[in-house]
Amino acid sequence: MFGLVDYDSDDDKDASGNAAPCKEVPGEMSATMASPVPATTASSQPAQVSHKRIAKARLREIQKEISSAKSASAVVKVVRHCIDEAWDENWAGEALYQIAKRSTARTRKEWALDTSVKNLADKLCTDTPINLSLPCSGLDASLLLVALEGLRRMNFQDAESQRGALMRIVLWVEKDHYQHPVKSLARLYWLAAPLRLAGAEAIPREIRHRAAELDGPDVALFVAAMRHPGARDTALLDKCGSRLKTEGIFHGLAATDLVELAEGLCELNAYTEAALRPLGQEVQRRRGELTPDELHRVHTAFEKMKLPLPKVWTAVGTAVKREGAQIVTTQAFAPQQGHEKKRRGNHDVERTSPPRVVRDYKMMSY
């Protein structure tokens, strides 16, 4: 089981974004996150939890190593080094999430069988119980949401096993009048969409007024969530499509997320050519990161949306369009054979011969 413990709120922000502090929620019931491996017997006594904390400077150092890791292998290396000597759920959930996001569909399954990753998930699920009768003042709900997303993406938990934890977070968010970061609300909506939890349906209404804060991963989460029955919000979906036209919107998205985003837009019939072209161009740039199956899926999705993937680039020639009171002319070029810029190596430039030394002093006198 995973839970929340008191932690100082003046830490540096991590890559997942920070949420507003949670307020105490009244109630006497309890909810727990289930372990990835179901227990054979249930204990009536609450688990004894160690509240030993690592130094703040050490925590920030570990979080920086995780956020700056270039691959899932680098994150796992940090986990293996710190899981015993510097355990803290404040970095553990982010580590599992980064392993999931920096893996392909195939390598994600392989990492789920790794001993260190399995131990990480087990400790997240069993170290700290979640008890609704306990106060949670000063806590950051985004820590729990990041861990829940990591557990879900790595298939250590399904939606039903996270119902209790998600119900508690929905209560927190409702009590705070949804004044949480957009990224946390997007995560919560994606996690809760298969369960159709009461209170989660108000999240799209809140996000509509804050659509300008959505980034690529947030848009992908909302589109994926709306593929579930009863979760569609047409107004927010239109705003998500508009955000796809923003330059640099796909930063932070894994190549697999691009495929799922294209399939979601196709399934929901919520696309325009202006939104599809930037998405298709990003897929083309990163096609080397996709598996053959993913390439087939994304090609099929674009074919159904009447914009074949090879045609997402702007047609060669000049185009004129009006932007406000101005008329803008744009010209698109295509590389031609023989016109490309050649890379010059060591053998492309003729080297000058060294100066000759004349040893014949008689000839030198002429």
Apex CA 335: angle with CA 329 and CA 339, to 5°?
120
Count how many residues are written for the chain.
366
How many domains is the chain partitioned into structurally? 1
pTM above threshold 0.85: no
R_g of the chain computed on alpha carbons? 27
Within a domain: 146: yes
Residue 23 CB coordination number (10 Å)? 14
Within a domain: 300: no
Q: Greatest CA span in the chain, whole angstroms?
A: 111
Decide if 49 contacts 6 (C-beta within 8 A).
no
Please give the backbone phi and psi of residue 31, each rounded to the nearest 5 degrees, phi first: -140, 145
Question: What own/partner pairs with CB < 8 Å and gap ≥ 24 does 155-160 have?
Answer: 155/109, 155/112, 156/36, 156/112, 156/121, 156/125, 157/33, 157/34, 157/36, 157/125, 159/191, 159/194, 159/195, 160/195
Domain around 99: 1-35+52-180
Q: What is the pLDDT along the chain (366 residues), one digit of tens a residue?
A: 444 444 444 444 444 444 444 444 444 333 445 445 444 343 334 344 444 678 899 999 999 999 999 899 999 999 999 998 899 888 999 999 999 999 888 889 999 999 999 999 999 887 654 434 334 444 578 888 999 999 999 999 999 998 988 998 999 899 989 999 999 999 999 999 999 999 899 999 999 999 999 999 999 999 999 999 999 999 999 999 999 999 899 998 988 999 999 999 999 998 898 899 999 999 999 988 888 999 999 999 999 999 998 888 876 667 777 777 788 887 766 555 565 555 555 444 455 556 666 566 665 555
Within a domain: 292: no
Name the DSSP letter for residue 242.
H
Within a domain: 361: no
